[in-house]
Amino acid sequence: MVEAATIKPSFGYAAILVLLAATATALVTVGRIGLGRQVLTASLRAVVQLAAVSAVIVVVLRSWGLTTAFIAVMLSIAAMTSARRIGQGRQALLTGAAIAAGALPVVGLLLASGVVPRTPIAVVPIAGILIGGAMTATSLAGRRAMDTLRTRFGEVEAAMALGFLDRDAALLVCRPTVADALVPALDQTRTVGLVTLPGAFVGVLLGGASPVEAGAAQLLVLVGLLAVEATAVLATVELIARGLIPWPAR
């Protein structure tokens, strides 16, 4: 039996966090990537947000009503984040629809099948992981589609001149490129256990479960993420192709 272990906050823990954040900020600044401020801000936000979540999560997990509200907040923030990343900050409702189309059916399937225990403490982390994956896929697909439409708009116009509908002309050029949004999930799934031991595996293992149980949980997450992200990518490119999320050239 593997002994349960936890990572506990301490002075040394805080010092390592500061060192890592400072290193990342310094590297992107010296390398002139232009994200130094964002790296630092993201690190500080993570500290504040996780501290706040740690303070309220015990209360949230006592009630299905609060759990549902918490998941709704996660979905709303994910939608706003993706909308900003795509450069369409006012389209959070639509990016939220793409994220929800990917994440919510999979969460529902896992709960309905009984594979994931129907308890708030199990539902919240699973929902968070799947919503987060859908958010990332939506952001990447949206940015890729927008960049493609911006740089290859002449090809879109040529297709429309040949009689293609606006949607079909847009899909003709941007559909192949948004496949890049699935590369991180594909690589993580292909190399799991060989290169990486992702968060779900480590978390379950640290919680005292057996390696087999940890592996089962991680496999469920990885394959679930593929389904979630594939759906989110297709929904995002469809919304953009139809002009519901406005094209950059318009």
Nearby residues of 234 by Cβ (< 8 Å), 6 or more positions away: none
Contact (CB, 8 A) for 113 and 224: no
Q: Exposed/middle/buried for 231, CB within 10 Å: 0-12, 13-18, 19+?
A: buried
Task: Answer yes or no: is pLDDT of 8 > 80.
Answer: no
d(CA 90, CA 210): 46
pLDDT per position as a tens digit, 174-225:
888 888 899 888 888 888 776 666 666 666 665 666 777 777 777 888 889 9
Query: Who wins on pLDDT, 53 or 24?
Result: 24
pLDDT per position as a tens digit, 73-89:
999 999 999 999 998 87
What is the chain's percent helix, strand, coil content, to nearest 5? Answer: 80, 0, 20
192: β partners: 196
> Worst-scoring range by mean pLDDT, 3-17, 51-65, 154-168, 178-192?
3-17
Contact (CB, 8 A) for 129 and 200: yes
What pLDDT band is residue 92 in, cutting at 50, 70 and 90?
very high
Phi, psi (deg, nearest 5) at residue 37: -65, -40
Helices (H) and strands (E) in the chain — how many of each? Answer: 10, 0
- Give me the chain's average pLDDT, please: 86
Phi, psi (deg, nearest 5) at residue 208: 105, 0
Mean pLDDT of 129-157: 92
Please state, for a pLDDT cut of 90, what percent of the chain lies above it: 36
d(CA 18, CA 122): 31
Contact (CB, 8 A) for 116 and 221: no
The two structure tokens encoding residue 179: 């496949």
Looking at residue 104, its pLDDT comes to 94
> Worst-scoring range by mean pLDDT, 26-35, 52-61, 178-187, 200-209?
200-209
Looking at residue 218, its pLDDT comes to 78
Looking from the CA of 7 toward its CB, the CA atoms found within 13 Å total: 9
Contact (CB, 8 A) for 216 and 122: no
Looking at residue 9, its pLDDT comes to 77
Q: Which of 57, 76, 185 is nearest to 121 (CA)?
A: 57
Task: State the pTM of this model.
Answer: 0.83
Task: Answer yes or no: is pLDDT of 66 > 70.
Answer: yes
What pLDDT band is residue 234 in, cutting at 50, 70 and 90?
very high
Task: Answer yes or no: is pLDDT of 2 > 50.
Answer: no
Looking at residue 190, its pLDDT comes to 84
